[in-house]
Amino acid sequence: MWKLKTAEGNDPYLFSTNNFVGRQTWEFDPDAGTPEDQQEVENARQYFLNRQKEGFQASSDLLMRKQLIKENGIDLLSLRATRLEETEEIHYEAVTTTVKKALRLHRAIQAKDGHWPADYDGPLFITSPFKGKHWLYGAASYIIRDYMELIILYISGTINTHLTGEHKKEMKRYIYNHQNKDGGWGFHIEGHSTMMGSALNYVALRLLGEGPDDGNYAVSRGRKWILDHGGATCIPSWGKLYLSVLGVYEWEGCNPLPPEFWIFPETFPFHPAKMWCYCRTTYMPMSYLYGKKFHGPITEFVLQLRQEIYSIPYDEINWNKQRHICCKEDLLYPHSTVQDLLWDFLQYFGEPISKYWPFKRLREIALKRTIELIRYSAEESRYITTGSIEKSLQMMVWWAENPCGDEFKHHLARLPDYLWLAEDGMKVMPSGGQLWNCALSTQAIIASNMIEEYGESLKKAHFFIKESQVKNNPTGDFPKNCRQITKGSWTFAQDDGWAVSDCTSEALKCLLLLSQMPVEISGEEDGNIERLYDAVNFILFVQSPTSGGFAIWEQPVPQPYLEMLNPSEMFADIVVEREHLENTASIIQALVAFKRLHPKHREKEIENAVSKAVRFLEKRQRPDGSWYGYWGICFLYGTCFVLRGLEAAGKTYDNCEAVRKGVKFLLSTRNEEGGWGESYKSCTREVYTPLFGNRTNLVQTSWAMLGLMSAGQVERDLTPLHKAAKLLINAQMDNGDFPQQEFTGVSMKNCMLHYPLYRNIFPLLALGEYRRRLWAC
């Protein structure tokens, strides 16, 4: 039976800056669990299938929840859930009961080290490049499997020796569960079939041991979709590279990614250090692999795949002509003519001369520099890296560079950090999200103002947040290695060293709130006020001096025209770091709260920063009154965060036109039952799009409530809030949970993300604030 382990790191190739606080990995013990426990797991899997038939593709993350609820032993059922009749008015007791049950459930799923473990998935294209490994500790089998290592661990020859039948079964379960009716797989689990999703998931199933014609025809249906849509030559550029490394695609069919890019002088207008960090850390290993033209051994299996996924014989494909081809189902952001001309110049002129002196020597120097940067990035992140994409690519690089080296072993030891098991199967998380979930959960618990129900939850969360802060900048000459300051920040994924401004602002808000509470409730403070100052210093560092908005990871680069060079067909806005609305709004809240409690630190600078940030938010408002959300779906998310930020800055319905327009937008998008529900299609269309059937999403309804309350809706008209609160109350389940519906996270406009904890965090936060504002609780 599977079991979640937290805050453990028993491997000589693992190292940590905080004693592995926040680490979450899964272990399989064949002797664990009673028949009743195993039946509960099967019931959870059937629940997912039943919900899927109702149109909900995301898992409810029940396996982790069942385990932690049992371990924490908090009574969830003695207090009965409230049900309000259609004609019954909402009342204090109903709200209080719902908040109390939600709070108890939230405490019950907190880990011993203070964080809230959770699934974090959505994209389907990351399942193929990975596969995992297992270690034995005592009698139990500790097994690590990461989808994104399927290709590299096949190449390295460890796929059958380091993968048990249990892992294969769970991986295949996930892929089969999210196959579309037409036989293909989408870019994400709610999306239409694409070549990227279909080809890579087909390859994953074959690497997992499925034959080309399995018993339930799922594999053959997947192959049929691929062939019916032009074959794998139409896969987007990232897929072309992955398949080239496996040996089932030719490097000649990839647009050039010359490693010489990494030795450009710093004065060059488009130096790598100016790239958005995710773009930089993705294309860095890609350029190394391209420069080496690395691929794995051409085995009989690889030859079989070559026959299966192309519509014409492999040897007859004109690979050069495939460079600019992309399946129309995948193509969201076509390359510009300028970009295609650049690719052609590199293909027909740059690459041929790279084989001759002195350009051959230049390539050797470039590859050496690229490896230096990759090594620095790996070591500074404890081999976690920025995310699962970079990690898979780095592992390919290190196997190509030095298959027996320690770098590859360090990477293997960190594979479990990306692995997650839920009732829909085993998947790879793009990243961890431990701090983000903890900071939002902490604020939701505090918003309930039910001190008697807090238990040890805030003490544990306080410990986790303190331990998670980044204590230092990257080592050595970090600007030379394309890095910027990180000291005082918090990261999204635990211990990866990549500073994130909204995680920093949300964590800072938590520490400020906890510092005002009795120590017996919140736990001991750190006592080092300089760490708060460091957090503020980092936040101010990432503000744009021109727009006033705040970037996420690093200082914004005011060169939006460089997006013309976006090499991806699937993602938008990936080339340079830019300002975002939601984190700017979160930062306003944090800075205002900090200045109130610590007025002597950079007081004038904070005042100016907040003033500029407010103007940035007001200027970015859309004509319909909404704000575009980049990290959540979509206009409801952005509008919620911005209205909360404007409230912190003293902007009200009466004194701010932007607030009035924001309220008008929220009220105009309510559905007939008084809730809100927005489709992920808003993100790519950039126009508000309701869910199919105009149905309600509880998380998005909570966002709308929070936005309206921040805009003073309680003082004007309570009806919209009453109706929304009633929907949340009646939706609560017997154990205090809320049903999982559509996923609500996104990045890069097309990469939809599943945050299952949102269904607990935001209803608790919304109803807690609703209760406080109405009854002064």
Positive or negative, the Cα torsion across 87, 89, 93, 94? positive
| Tokens (6 digits) for 737 | 């949970």
CA gap 479, 261 in Å, rounded = 17
- CA 679, CA 691: separation in Å to the nearest integer? 5
CA distances from 66 to 37, 72, 420, 423 (A): 9, 10, 15, 11
Question: What letter does residue 754 receive in the DSSP assignment?
Answer: B
DSSP symbols for 430-450? SS--HHHHHHHHHHHHHHHT-
Q: Are 63 and 2 in contact (CB under 8 A)?
A: yes
Classify 79 as helix, strand or coil: coil
**In this structure, which amino acid lies at residue 282?**
T
Q: How many CB atoms lie within 10 A of CB 189?
A: 24
Q: In the structure encoding, which two tokens stand for residue 290, read together?
A: 């391209």
CB crowding 705-730: b at 16 or more within 10 Å, else e: bbbbbbbbbeeeeeebbebbbbbbbe
Distance CA 3, CA 67 (A): 8
Pairing of strands 745-747, 425-428: unpaired
Enumerate the β-bridge partners of residue 690.
678
483, 489, 458, 455: which is closest to 471 by C-alpha?
489
Q: Which residues pair with 136 in a beta bridge?
A: 141
Mark residue 419 as left, alpha or beta (left: phi above 0; alpha: psi -120 to 50; beta: remaining): beta
- The separation between CA 373 and the C-alpha centre of its own chain, rounded to angstroms, equals 24
Q: How far apart are CA 276 and CA 280, in angstroms?
A: 6
How many CB atoms are located within 10 Å of the residue 15 CB? 15
Task: Give the SS3 label for residue 580.
Answer: strand
Is 2:421 a contact under the CB 8 Å cutoff? yes
d(CA 436, CA 468): 11
Token pair of 640 as six digits = 């919620």
Closest CA relative to residue 544, chosen from 583, 491, 493, 602: 583
Q: Which residues contact 302 (CB under 8 A, 6 or more apart)?
A: 246, 247, 248, 296
Give the residue numbers marked as catalytic. Answer: 502
At 579, is the secondary structure helix, strand, or coil? Answer: strand
- How many Cβ atoms are within 10 Å of 290's Cβ, its own excluded? 21
| Contact present, 141 and 28 (Cβ < 8 Å) | yes
Q: How far is CA 366 from CA 19, 217, 287, 373, 557, in A?
A: 36, 47, 10, 11, 25
Closest of 117, 140, 132 to residue 63, by C-alpha? 117
Instruction: Collect contacts of 522-527 with beta carbons under 8 A, ≥24 apart.
Output: 522/458, 522/459, 522/462, 523/458, 523/459, 523/460, 523/462, 523/463, 524/462, 526/466
User: 266, exposed or middle or buried, with CB in 10 Å at 0-12, 13-18, 19+?
Assistant: exposed
Helices (H) then strands (E): counts for the chain: 29, 14
What is d(CA 760, CA 491) in angstroms, rounded to the nearest whole number? 22
